[in-house]
Structure 1
Amino acid sequence: MPNVPGMTVTTRSVTYPADGLVMVSHLALPDGDGRRPAVLVGPEGPGLNAFQRRRADALAELGYVALAFDIHGGRWLADPEEMLARCLPLLGDPERMRDIGHAALDAVRAEERTDPDRIAAIGYGTGGAIGLELARAGVPLRAVATVNGLITGRPGEAAGIGCPVWAGVGSDDPIQPPEQREAFTAEMAQAGVDWRLVVYGGAQHAFHHPPTRPDGSIAEDGTYGQTVLPGVAYHARHAQRAWDDVVALLGECLPLDVAPTAA
């Protein structure tokens, strides 16, 4: 049965090689000793920080094994120019994205608490695009959710997606404009994917992510402590709504009301 929110969560760092780097990911485990469904949590362009770690912890409180995975070898890229210099080539190279995703997938599968047949991927920006590439590659995920990561794949490869896809984007996002949303939904429809797109009115890019300091920590006073790209803004109400939508997708496609199996 699912865990009760607020129960003890065990966390640890998990390191492994990918993309020529040593990735430092964050693993969160629920109470108990049986196998549980697992969720990959992919970060946005600047990298893994406290926000995604908290998301993994929240999923573990619900009863999932959760791995918030690294994409920059343990670094948080606070400088937008440095972030774009790394992420734009990455987003243009599906094989590199898949390699990073497969390494994270292998890491969560190596955890004895993981049910290897029940894994989903959620992600933000670059991390969402990586989850989609895993699905396009035919990885048997149970669901994919991407917030601000509506990147179209190579022609015909969406046919490899065998699970529901949920996508969320802000209506005023200049980085994911209407034409990009239309290209993404056309790709999903042409491939016959079970897809959903939620457009959050008035929200901009990275609306889900609270303001941060230069070290990637959450700025509890709600003010940005680092330079952000134009069109990036936090929207607290829609951030919560998007999270609720993601959790609902997991409840539908990766239910927790299945008795845990022995590890």
Structure 2
Amino acid sequence: MEWKNIYRGLLMGASDVIPGVSGGTIAVLLGIYDRLIASINGLMTKDWKKHLGFLIPLGVGVACAVLLLSRVIEWLFEHYPGPTQFFFLGLIIGIIPYLFHQAEVRTKFKANHYILLVIGALVVGSMLFLHENEGVIIEEMTFSTYVLLFFSGFIASAAMILPGISGSFILLVIGVYATVISAISNLQIDVIAVVGIGIVLGIITMSKVINYFLVNYRSATFALIIGLVIGSVFVVFPGWPDSTALVLLSVLTFAAGLFAAYVLGKVEYKA
């Protein structure tokens, strides 16, 4: 068991609760994205035990973060939304140089790879123009409601595993984010189970697609991934604070994000 994956899972799970920040992005930042995709696909092979040793601690960390940190994240976004987003902004910007290093941009990227990078950035950046619809908390559960929640989980999980695209943001657009967060906070088992099944099936399906491209078109896939991460900078950016105190706090949290990225880069990328 790779027990240090628990802390990686905690970071991924915390990010998945936040609209605008992708768990896939955090996996890229941690340098485990390709291993994550390969391990999910490897569950149906003879090496399934080795892949479980990677995935189980990661899953424990994600689950703990979602269950334990959902209230904390809600509180931070309610009282300090700007500084919180500036922390993640610093984290994302700070790790981009390591991504360029891992992808060996200087030696392997050609003109078509840079085009893919720009396309990835534009795809994620265009999410700024999507209409967010938090909606009200759905209290009366019917069959059609469960179907909606299942497919919401399926679609959101496909986004979760793609760097730069936030699963929580997708839930906001669909209009079930408030319902899902409330269910997690209050341990509403039926809602958690239905959404969870959708998420698991979505991750398995999307990981097979991504694994194919990572194996057969690695440089092109990394070019797109880097573009998605760069595009997420524009989505996460909350705008400039409107008071001096918030400016100072945002600068501090941004610097903390940059420092965290530096530490993660040294630890995870061995760069």
TM norm structure 1: 0.31
Higher relative contact order (CA 8 A, sep 6+): 2
TM norm structure 2: 0.30
Structure with greater strand share of residues: 1
Structure with greater helix share of residues: 2
Q: From the CA coordinates, give the structure whose radius of gyration is larger.
A: 2
